[in-house]
Amino acid sequence: MTAVSFMASRRRALAGWAVWGCVAFFLLNLAALILSVVVNSFGTTWFSGWLPQGFTTAWYADAWKEFALGEVLQVTLGVTLAVVALSLLLGVPAAYALARRDFPGKRLVLLLLLLPVLLPPITYGIPLATVLYKFHLAGTMTGVVAANLVPALPFVVLVMTPFVEQIDANVESAARMCGARTRQVFSRVLVPLLMPGILAAGILVLVRTVAMFELTFLVADADSQTLIVALYSAAFTPGIRAAQAIDAMAVIYMALSAVLLVVALLFVNPTQIVAQVKEATAE
């Protein structure tokens, strides 16, 4: 019996080492890929060897001018801020209703809200783009904001629902007993208590919108594309472009995404979102 237990534990240890080895191999290749893009964005020429023949920062200036990154970043900022504002305006009351109220069809409503999170964006992106083109909203900032709002709203509901549930309902009852109306209870009592969750939801939506490629690509044109779509167009649109300039643009996007992700992780716990999705799907 001891020998059998020893062999079983040995197999488990070997399986664990194999898994960690695969993870390490994947991370090593990912790091090498990112490092090669960063190094090439500063390189003058790189035809052979481990490093380029020289280094320069001129490719970043070229990318800024050639791809009009100033205008692209303005569009990206405008789209993300509009999506964040609208998703918070609609998502916070929805999260409050789901956390505080029981009503017929509540599970169905929650499941419908989670569908844009559970499904790949391309599955509902094409029908959504068809509707936006039909109403002449595609190719405009309004259409891009509307498309990105579809997955952003469920994220707000997912993040805000646990925050609402953590607030004692007696606090609201006490405020009403003191003469506060519903609007005053929400604006003067709940909003200050929910501010950490609102910040977390807003930053999370900001990260999601900056990284959203499929929906933005399907409905944007040259004047309403965000940074990630502009990067795709620069890399795959026919024409002669310096690879170093495209890599410089990719580094700018990676740096922006990394900063936003780090800030988001300071405010939101990913395990809370996973737990909320599991709970909703289990129901």
**What are 71-97's pLDDT values in tens digits?**
888 999 899 999 999 999 999 888 888
73-79 CB contacts, 8 Å cutoff, 24+ apart: 73/227, 75/141, 75/223, 75/224, 75/225, 75/226, 76/210, 76/226, 76/227, 78/141, 79/141, 79/144, 79/145, 79/148, 79/209, 79/216, 79/224, 79/226
Q: Where are the domains of the chain?
A: 1-56, 58-282
Residue 146 has what pLDDT? 92
Interval 52-80 mean pLDDT: 86
Instruction: Using alpha carbons, select from 265, 269, 144, 109 the residue that is nearest to residue 214.
Output: 144
Give alpha helix (H) positions in 121-242: 121-134, 141-165, 169-177, 182-184, 191-211, 214-219, 227-236
- Which tokens go with 204? 């999370």
Between CA 216 and CA 172 the distance in angstroms is: 40
Percent of the chain scored above 70 by pLDDT?
91
Confidence of residue 2 (pLDDT cuts 50, 70, 90): low
Q: Which residues partner with 43 through β-bridges? A: 55
Instruction: Give the Å distances, CA to CA, from 194 to 28, 37, 90, 167, 267.
Output: 40, 41, 15, 8, 12
Residue 82 has what pLDDT? 93
**What are 132-153's pLDDT values in tens digits?**
999 988 888 999 999 999 999 9
- Which tokens go with 200? 């977390």
Largest CA distance in the chain: 76
Percent of the chain scored above 90 by pLDDT?
11
- Which tokens go with 183? 């609007």
Residue 280 has what pLDDT? 46
- Which tokens go with 44? 């003058």
Confidence of residue 267 (pLDDT cuts 50, 70, 90): low
Judge whether residue 30 has pLDDT over 80.
yes
Backbone angles phi, psi at 43, to 5 degrees: -85, 150
**What are 224-266's pLDDT values in tens digits?**
888 888 888 888 877 677 788 888 888 888 888 888 778 777 7
Judge residue 131's burial from the number of C-beta atoms within 10 Å of its C-beta, 0-12 exposed, 13-18 middle, 19 or more buried.
Answer: middle
Residue 3 has what pLDDT? 65
Confidence of residue 12 (pLDDT cuts 50, 70, 90): confident
Asked if 228 and 216 count as a contact pair (C-beta separation under 8 A), the reply is yes
Judge whether residue 279 has pLDDT over 70.
no
Residue 103 has what pLDDT? 76
What mean pLDDT is reported for the chain? 82
- Which tokens go with 261? 């992700």
- In CATH terms, 58-282 corresponds, of 3.40.50.1700, 3.40.50.1460, 3.30.413.10, 1.10.3720.10, to 1.10.3720.10
pTM score: 0.78
- Close Cβ partners of 206 (under 8 Å, ≥ 6 residues apart): 80, 84, 260, 264
Residue 271 has what pLDDT? 57
Judge whether residue 281 has pLDDT over 60.
no
**What are 101-119's pLDDT values in tens digits?**
777 777 787 778 888 888 8
The HSE-up count of residue 145 (CA atoms within 13 Å, CB side) is: 15
Q: Which is more confidently placed, 4 or 96?
A: 96
- Close Cβ partners of 109 (under 8 Å, ≥ 6 residues apart): 98
Q: Which is more confidently placed, 131 or 283?
A: 131
Judge whether residue 192 has pLDDT over 60.
yes
Looking at residue 139, the DSSP 8-state letter turns out to be T
- What size, in residues, is the chain? 283
Residue-by-residue DSSP string for 2-63: HHHHHHHHHHHHHHHHHHHHHHHHHHHHHHHHHHHHHHHHHBS--SSSSS-S-B-SHHHHHH
